[in-house]
Amino acid sequence: MKVDLAVVGAGPAGLYATYYAGFRGLSVAVVDALDQLGGQMSVLYPEKPVFDVAGFPRVRAQDLVDSLVDQAATADPTYLLGHHAVGLEHGPDGVVLETDRGARIEAGALLVTGGMGRFTPRPLPAGGDFAGRGLRYAVPRPAELADRHVLIVGGGDSAVDWALCLAPIAASVTLVHRRTAFRAHERSVKELEASSVRILTPYEVLDVRGPDRVAEVDVEGPAGVETLAVDEIVAALGFKADLAALSSWGIELGRRAVAVDRSMRTNLPRVFAAGDVTDFEGKVKLISVGFGEAALAVNNLVPLVRPDLPVVPGHSSDAA
């Protein structure tokens, strides 16, 4: 298969990059290890409200993905889902990307936006073997936790958002965080503090018990050890991405992410990166930032693939 641009990762940044490449007149192939579009957002957070996208005061994650898919369709991309990107070769006029299922994509440039492999949750140390028996690491269907006593562990956006989402439908929601300060958006933290969620900080989970599934949890904080009766635990401790393929390609990695310059170039020729997979000074991991990085990457790679086209695209309102 020959295309102008190969995109690795079909999450929000990858989908927007696909649209933008089509807007610039490039042909696109998209590779993702998952078997559906939308990345982690679709698999793990489809019901989660998203607040930081321009033009949307609040948007459901899956609705945002559906709109991005519709937008990307204007580029008429070729999708290779369920494919792990494993091999990368360089040539005088581009790159050759290979997948674990034998696909071979010849492209003028490569844009990495994630999708390198399976992402695994950071485990709850005291969780033992309760995963799937009351211990979970995501809440793709909040209704499953209706009328349950839920303990959420974590202090980031996912932990706070899930606490707010479950508070109206669960029998009770308790949030445990090992620090006094949260890493979530200030607005969300204020909503949390005004909600019915019981907040325990700084507290840590010491032990999880139950005959067959989660029943009791010991937590420890300034007041000592407290035992909570719990039906479900949501461990929102983050996920680890598989960047082994990137490292084997020779891509320079920063703080567990791809190092890029201000044009979103990596250290490899004709290889760019955008979205949460990137790292640079001042990096902020937001969906809205990922969209901007995707547009930067595409515009800067266009002249490499199409020397007759400039970096600056002009105004979209001028397009036919």
pLDDT value of residue 240: 77
pLDDT value of residue 318: 62
Both 295 and 154 in one domain: the answer is: no
* 170 assigned to a ligand binding site: no
pLDDT < 50 positions in the chain: none
pLDDT value of residue 211: 93
- Of the residues 235, 252, 280, the one at which a domain ends: 235
* 36 assigned to a ligand binding site: no
pLDDT value of residue 238: 84
Only one residue has tokens 């308790």, namely 174
Both 113 and 39 in one domain: the answer is: yes
Q: Give the tens place of pLDDT for each residue, 118-139.
A: 677 889 999 989 999 999 998 9
pLDDT value of residue 105: 98
Backbone angles phi, psi at 247, to 5 degrees: -65, -40
Both 151 and 49 in one domain: the answer is: no
Q: Give the tens place of pLDDT for each residue, 224-248.
A: 999 999 999 999 998 877 777 888 9
- Of the residues 203, 235, 267, the one at which a domain ends: 235
Query: What is the count of structural domains for the chain?
Result: 2
Both 87 and 128 in one domain: the answer is: no
From residue 251, how far is each of 4, 20, 265, 299, 300 by CA, in Å? 21, 24, 11, 21, 18
Contact between 275 and 298 (Cβ < 8 Å): no
Percent of the chain exceeding pLDDT 90 equals 78
Both 284 and 207 in one domain: the answer is: no
**Cβ-proximal residues to 91 (8 Å cutoff; 6+ apart), any chain:** none
- Of the residues 219, 235, 251, the one at which a domain ends: 235
Both 223 and 252 in one domain: the answer is: no
Q: What are the structure tokens assigned to 242, written together?
A: 């598989």
* 45 assigned to a ligand binding site: yes
Both 162 and 308 in one domain: the answer is: no
Both 214 and 133 in one domain: the answer is: yes
pLDDT value of residue 97: 97
What distance in Å separates the CA atoms of residue 62 and residue 261, rounded to the nearest whole number?
A: 31
Axis-axis angle for helices 61-72, 12-23 (nearest 10): 20
Both 203 and 298 in one domain: the answer is: no
Q: Residue 245's domain is classified under what CATH number?
A: 3.50.50.60
What distance in Å separates the CA atoms of residue 178 and residue 155, rounded to the nearest whole number?
A: 8
* 62 assigned to a ligand binding site: no
* 85 assigned to a ligand binding site: yes
pLDDT value of residue 69: 98
* Number of residues written out for the chain: 320
pLDDT value of residue 275: 94
Mean pLDDT of the chain: 93
* Structural domain range at position 158: 122-235
Backbone angles phi, psi at 117, to 5 degrees: 175, -170
Q: Give the tens place of pLDDT for each residue, 254-283.
A: 777 899 999 999 999 999 999 999 989 999
pLDDT value of residue 121: 85
Both 227 and 310 in one domain: the answer is: no
pLDDT value of residue 315: 65
Both 44 and 67 in one domain: the answer is: yes
Both 221 and 261 in one domain: the answer is: no
Q: How, if at all, do strands 216-221 and 204-209 pair?
A: antiparallel
